[in-house]
Amino acid sequence: MGLRAIKRLVLRPEVPWAKQRTRLRAATMGYRPLFDVAVENVTIAGVPCERMTPKNYQKNRVIVYVHGGGFCTGSPAMGYPLCSYLAASLEAQVICVNYRLAPEHPAPAALEDVEAVLRGQGGRTVVALGDSAGGGLLASALQRTAHDARAVALLSPWLDLSADRTIDAVLVSRDPLLSPQWLGACARAYAGDDLTDPAVSPLFGPWERMPPTLVIGGSDDLLALDARRLDVLGLEQVRVREFTDFWHDFALSVGQLAMADETARLIATHFAAGTGWRAHTLAY
């Protein structure tokens, strides 16, 4: 299913959340780990997760991944291609947080799950990444809780749930996946009325608590303004890269899109710089 088909058939506020989840699972059924990386279900600090393990890995290395989906849909499978590249490149296990979804579990349920997994890594060297809503969850968690994360990557992150997404009509028309109406429905289902609380909108939070942070997005992403606003803050530990003519979460399409392959290498290099690990360049 193409991006515009997902926007038309899945990510619509009038479609019940359960049906959106079912349709999105069907649309991502073809997502598979690359490079012979194994996946198993585990529980960490009481939170269900998926653990991805490459053939060669160092037991003290872990990458925590927080998936997107507007807080109301989505699953770790969305990140399989990218996460398996990072696992094999950095010889590390990846822990994909299968956090509770709204509206059945509104804020701060998902945030508490992410915080618990970050705290539950038992002294191992940790780096972390999140995409879309998962990027926002990860940023909020790192701003709120003590952690040992050495480096972070945020992909097309949703950092301000209160922003009016209708103000840029050109961007609204160009984004092949997201709509202001769906984002608004997700924000209300997850956070209720207080959309500027840093616990749900980390753009307003204490970024000085963040480790070195790489933000990657596309110019045709309805959430691109969030990364641009973060960039304007001029934070020393935050680096923003925007790729022209690319869309929301393009960086997840590893193995299918050359620019996504390039961003996977950028993320691996960023994590290696923060940890001293070696980033192996892999061929598809």
pLDDT in tens, 183-205: 999 999 999 999 999 999 999 99
> What pLDDT shows up at residue 9?
92
Confidence of residue 129 (pLDDT cuts 50, 70, 90): very high
Asked whether 93 and 57 are in contact (CB, 8 A), the reply is: yes
Report which secondary-structure segment, H or E, holds 3.
helix 3-9
Confidence of residue 1 (pLDDT cuts 50, 70, 90): low
Q: How far is 18 from 58, CA to CA, in rounded Å?
A: 38
Q: How far is 68 from 137, CA to CA, in rounded Å?
A: 9
Q: Look at residues 224, 216, 209 and name the one whose alpha carbon lies nearest to residue 140.
A: 209
Q: Kindly report the average pLDDT of the chain as a whole number.
A: 96
Dihedral sign (CA 262, 157, 99, 177): negative
Residue 46: left if φ>0, alpha if ψ -120 to 50, beta else—which one? left
The DSSP code for 235 is: -
Confidence of residue 28 (pLDDT cuts 50, 70, 90): confident
Domain ranges of the chain: 3-275
> What pLDDT shows up at residue 2?
86
> What pLDDT shows up at residue 169?
87
Asked whether 124 and 72 are in contact (CB, 8 A), the reply is: no
> What pLDDT shows up at residue 101?
98
Q: Which CATH architecture has domain 3-275?
A: 3-Layer(aba) Sandwich (3.40)
Q: How far is 195 from 163, CA to CA, in rounded Å?
A: 9
> What pLDDT shows up at residue 179?
97
Q: How far is 66 from 130, CA to CA, in rounded Å?
A: 4
Q: What would the mean pLDDT of 255-262 be, rounded to a whole number?
A: 96
Note the maximum CA span of the chain: 49
Asked whether 250 and 219 are in contact (CB, 8 A), the reply is: no
pLDDT digits (tens, 9 = 90+) for 79-111: 999 999 999 999 999 999 999 999 999 999 999
> Which segment of 2-6, 139-143, 175-179 scores lowest on mean pLDDT?
2-6
Q: What is the chain's Cα-based Rg? A: 17
Q: How far is 179 from 248, CA to CA, in rounded Å?
A: 11
pLDDT over threshold 90, residue 122 = no
Q: Which two tokens stand for residue 51?
A: 């653990």
> What pLDDT shows up at residue 160?
98
pLDDT digits (tens, 9 = 90+) for 143-170: 998 888 999 999 999 999 999 999 888 8
Asked whether 19 and 26 are in contact (CB, 8 A), the reply is: no
Q: Look at residues 231, 255, 259, 256 and name the one whose alpha carbon lies nearest to residue 245.
A: 259
Helix (H, G, I), strand (E, B) or coil at 260: helix
Higher-scoring residue by pLDDT: 172, 29: 172
Q: What would the mean pLDDT of 114-128 be, rounded to a whole number?
A: 95
Report which secondary-structure segment, H or E, holds 86.
helix 80-90
Q: Which residues pair with 64 in a beta bridge?
A: 95, 128
> What pLDDT shows up at residue 30?
83
Contacts of 11 (CB under 8 A, 6+ apart): 20, 24, 70, 73, 177, 178, 179, 182
> What pLDDT shows up at residue 96?
98
> What pLDDT shows up at residue 143?
97
